[in-house]
Amino acid sequence: MHVPSIGRARYLYVVTDDYTRKTFAYPLSCKDDTFEYFRRFKALTESELGLSIIKVRSDRGGEFKSHIFGSFCSNHGITQEFTPSYTPQLNGVVERKNRTIMDMVRCMLIDSKLSLEFWGEASKCATYILNRLPTKPIRGGCPEEIWQQKRVSITHLRPFGCKAYFHVPRPLRHKLDPTAKQGIMVGYKDPGYGYRIWNEEQKRVFVTRNVMFDEDHFPCKMQEEGNKSSIKSSHMIIDSIL
């Protein structure tokens, strides 16, 4: 990415399971981090499913052909399958998923008026939503439901970029401090349950379950509209002077 994310990431590592089509998205600060996130992905998925990864298909990027990546796969009985150079269509499942995620990220950032540095949060949020939508390759099934072997709810989904008020735990505030702070909804805790809330004052993301949403108001939209109104008013004053 040309613009680093709020977490200083510059790359997006996307992994899709061929059978369920469940997708995982990991923003990376550098490509060398790919192996560490693959190791975490392996541990998480095998713990949840009780199944072992048998094959990994990828392009011929150096991050996948490194000695440490290859040795790890060999030691765990994982076959590495590389597509020929300049043939991304042979790894079409994840390539298409990556495009879908980035199309969603573009729309989410434009609609919410959040700056481009939120692309990392938007990509994880888009992936979370895609995993809970009907998918044609699995006959209209939902990737998350097939993965978990149970129904999943979507009643907790909220508009990306909307205003949110999150509770501040007692140990983190003084007696007369506000019990809640304002933020912006930028995603979901996955795995687990909770929301990712950006607080502009502290310049950080809080993960919490205790949130109230104002789904009709988007702080960045309101700020942009306020700036336009200020410019318009200034022009009107200048016109009257002239």
The ranges of the chain with pLDDT < 50 are 231, 234, 238-242
DSSP one-letter code for 32? G
What element of type H or E holds 72? helix 67-75
Fold match flag (11-148 vs 155-242): no
Match domain 155-242 to its CATH number in 2.30.30, 3.40.140, 1.10.10, 2.40.50. 2.30.30
Q: Give pLDDT, residue 133.
A: 95
Bridge partners (DSSP) of residue 181 are: 166
Q: Give pLDDT, residue 240.
A: 41
- Rounded Cα–Cα distance for residues 177 and 180 (Å): 9
Domain spans in the chain, listed from the N-terminal domain onward = 11-148, 155-242
Are 207 and 196 contacting, i.e. CB atoms less than 8 angstroms apart?
yes
Question: In whole numbers, what is the pLDDT of the chain averaged over residues?
Answer: 90
- Rounded Cα–Cα distance for residues 34 and 120 (Å): 15
Q: Give pLDDT, residue 79.
A: 96
For residue 201, give both structure tokens. 């004052």
Q: Give pLDDT, residue 236.
A: 52
Secondary structure of residue 179 in the 3-state scheme: coil
Q: Give pLDDT, residue 230.
A: 53
Q: What percent of the chain shows pLDDT beyond 90?
A: 77
Domain 11-148 fold: Nucleotidyltransferase; domain 5 (3.30.420)
Over the stretch 43-85, which tens digit does the pLDDT of each residue have? 999 999 999 999 999 999 999 999 999 999 999 999 999 999 8
